[in-house]
């Protein structure tokens, strides 16, 4: 039987970028010891009080169909959180609960783009972005950036790409680079979106992981609330990756239409997951800081380790749980270096090329193993790069 072009073309005819990760997992399955610095999975599990609330809710009977838009408790909790942190008045009518941030990204693009519309995204990008656009029927168009500019998009590149486009997807703090967009960059993006009549889709799942500066949501800029869809998630902020609970926040009329989409696709999120998520959010900023603390420590320690050499370059990592490292001094591509590191040192990282052409010659390191193991692996990575460069 013939498959649809849409489902067959999600990766654009090439790799989906996960090849090194899959090889590392195969090696682990064969019993080989591998230090995994690949995906954004916390090395701690979901906190016991959150699981206890999930258990309580399930035992109390919240295991049937939950309200498709999300429970009112969770929608109001998300709305209050965004109102407090961004200053933008937000109510439950601005919130749709989704099965994780990835489902939120898909829903946002379904709201913004008709089939054949062009959707923009910044390169380097999280590996699913172009496939998500294709799944929504849009045509993905990358905005190239440069390592020398900390991978921030330039106004010239953005304005050139924006002609005839329908949406722009940004991510700050950024995966894979760790860069946090400053006020000037966000205002430039807002100006282009306004001038070119673009929807802005803002992936803010790392908003609690800030090591330098502060997180700013573009939805808070003048005139942007009406054209911005914010995607959030419990995964990174509360170590709830497997619970699959996220949200889209936007104009009431848009959320109403997305509720219709959810009715015909996901049909909501389990109620006991939502109750646990509301409970987790209500623990406040101090709890979120505790979840982020290991990555803050490892980020600072990585800067110290990398400062002692000049072979592996570090892109300024101002947020998120990753490091983007420049390995071009080895004479290898990021992909070749990642495979070589895996074979020689049993350390798994993601090639920069998995995240777009702009990150060629780089690797992404997830700071997701305990401190001593992370420091040892990073030291071995640097030593391996120095041997290759020599």
Are 303 and 213 members of one domain?
no
Same domain flag for 135 and 272: yes
In sequence order, what DSSP letters do the residues of 224-292 get, joined into one string?
A: -GGGEEEEEESTTTTT-GGG--EEEE--HHHHHHHHHHHHHTT----HHHHHHHHHHHTT-HHHHHHHH
Q: Is the pLDDT of residue 13 over 80?
A: no
Residue range 267-307, pLDDT digits in tens? 999 999 999 999 999 999 999 999 999 999 999 999 999 99
Per-residue pLDDT tens digits for 182-213: 999 999 999 999 999 999 999 999 999 999 99
pTM value is 0.96
Residue 27, pLDDT > 90, answer yes
Helix count and strand count (H, E) for the chain: 13, 13
Do 76 and 215 lie in one domain? The reply is yes
Q: What is the rounded radius of gyration, in angstroms, for the C-alpha atoms of the chain? A: 21
- What is the per-residue pLDDT for 16? 66
Report the distance separating Cα 239 and Cα 49, nearest Å.
12
Same domain (yes/no): 340, 236: no
The answer, yes or no, to whether residue 17 has pLDDT greater than 80, is no
Task: Map residue 160 onto helix, strand or coil.
Answer: helix
Checking if the pLDDT of 309 tops 90, the result is yes
CA angle 341, 388, 342 (to 5 degrees): 5
Three-state DSSP state, 374: helix
Question: Per the structure, how many domains does the chain have?
Answer: 2
**DSSP secondary structure letters along 79-134:** HHHHHHHH-----GGGEEEESSHHHHHHHHHHHH--TT-EEEEEES--TTHHHHHH
Which among 247, 268, 283 is the end of a domain? 283
Task: Please answer whether residues 348 and 20 qualify as being in contact, where contact means their C-beta atoms are separated by less than 8 angstroms.
Answer: yes
The dihedral formed by the CA atoms of 57, 60, 64 and 67, expressed in degrees to the nearest 10: -60
Is residue 39 domain-shared with residue 121, that is, in the same domain?
Answer: no
In this structure, the answer to whether residues 70 and 149 fall within a common structural domain is yes
Query: Is residue 95 located within the same domain as residue 154?
Result: yes
Q: Are residues 320 and 279 in the same domain?
A: no
Within 13 A of 238's CA, how many CA atoms are on the CB side?
26
Q: What pLDDT, in 10s, does the model give residues 98-135?
A: 999 999 999 999 999 999 999 999 999 999 999 999 99
User: Mind listing the pLDDT tens digit for each residue in 343-383?
Assistant: 999 999 999 999 999 999 999 999 999 999 999 999 999 99
Residues of the domain holding 71: 48-283
Same domain, 210 and 183: yes
Q: What is the pLDDT of residue 213?
A: 92
Of 224, 254, 283, which residue is a domain's last? Answer: 283
Domain boundary among 257, 283, 309: 283
Q: Report pLDDT digits (tens) over 244-271.
A: 999 999 999 999 999 999 999 999 999 9
Calculate helix-pair angle for 252-264, 101-112, nearest 10 degrees: 110
Residues 135 and 258 in one domain: yes
C-alpha span between 388 and 390 (Å, rounded) = 5
Among 225, 236, 231, 238, smallest CA distance to 51 is for 238
Query: The domain that contains 174 carries what CATH number?
Result: 3.40.640.10
């Amino acid at each position: 039987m013939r498959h649809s072009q849409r489902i067959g073309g999600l990766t654009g005819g090439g790799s989906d970028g996960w090849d090194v990760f899959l090889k590392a997992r195969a090696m682990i399955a064969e019993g080989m010891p591998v230090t995994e610095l690949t995906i954004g999975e916390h090395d701690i599990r979901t906190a016991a009080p959150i699981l206890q609330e999930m258990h309580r809710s399930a035992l109390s009977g919240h295991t049937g169909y939950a309200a498709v838009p999300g429970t009112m408790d969770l929608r109001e909790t998300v709305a209050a959180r965004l109102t407090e942190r961004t200053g933008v008045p937000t109510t439950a009518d601005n919130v749709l609960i989704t099965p994780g941030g990835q489902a939120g990204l898909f829903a946002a693009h379904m709201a913004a783009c008709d089939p054949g519309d062009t959707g923009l995204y910044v390169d380097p990008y999280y590996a699913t972005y172009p496939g998500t656009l294709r799944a929504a029927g849009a045509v993905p168009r990358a905005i190239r950036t440069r390592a020398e500019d900390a991978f921030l998009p330039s106004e010239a590149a953005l304005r050139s790409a924006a002609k005839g486009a329908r949406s722009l997807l940004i991510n700050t703090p950024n995966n894979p680079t760790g860069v946090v967009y400053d006020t000037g960059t966000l205002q430039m993006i807002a100006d282009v979106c306004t001038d070119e009549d673009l929807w802005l889709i803002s992936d803010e799942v790392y908003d609690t992981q800030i090591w330098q500066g502060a997180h700013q949501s573009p939805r808070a800029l003048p005139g942007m609330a009406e054209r911005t869809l914010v995607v959030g998630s419990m995964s990174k902020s509360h170590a709830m990756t497997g619970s699959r609970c996220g949200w889209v926040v936007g104009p009431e009329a848009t959320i109403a239409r997305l509720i219709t989409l959810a009715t015909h696709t996901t049909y909501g999120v389990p109620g006991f997951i939502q109750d646990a998520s509301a409970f987790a959010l209500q623990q406040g900023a101090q709890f979120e800081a505790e979840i982020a603390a290991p990555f803050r420590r490892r980020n600072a320690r990585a800067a110290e380790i990398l400062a002692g050499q000049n072979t592996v370059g570090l892109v300024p990592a101002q947020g998120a749980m990753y490091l983007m490292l420049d390995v071009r001094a080895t004479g290898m591509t990021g992909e070749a270096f990642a495979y070589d590191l895996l074979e020689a040192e049993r350390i798994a990282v993601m090639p920069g090329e998995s995240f777009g052409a702009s990150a060629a010659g780089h690797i992404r390191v997830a700071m997701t193993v305990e401190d001593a193991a992370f420091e040892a692996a990073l030291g071995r990575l640097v030593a391996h790069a120095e041997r290759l460069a020599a």
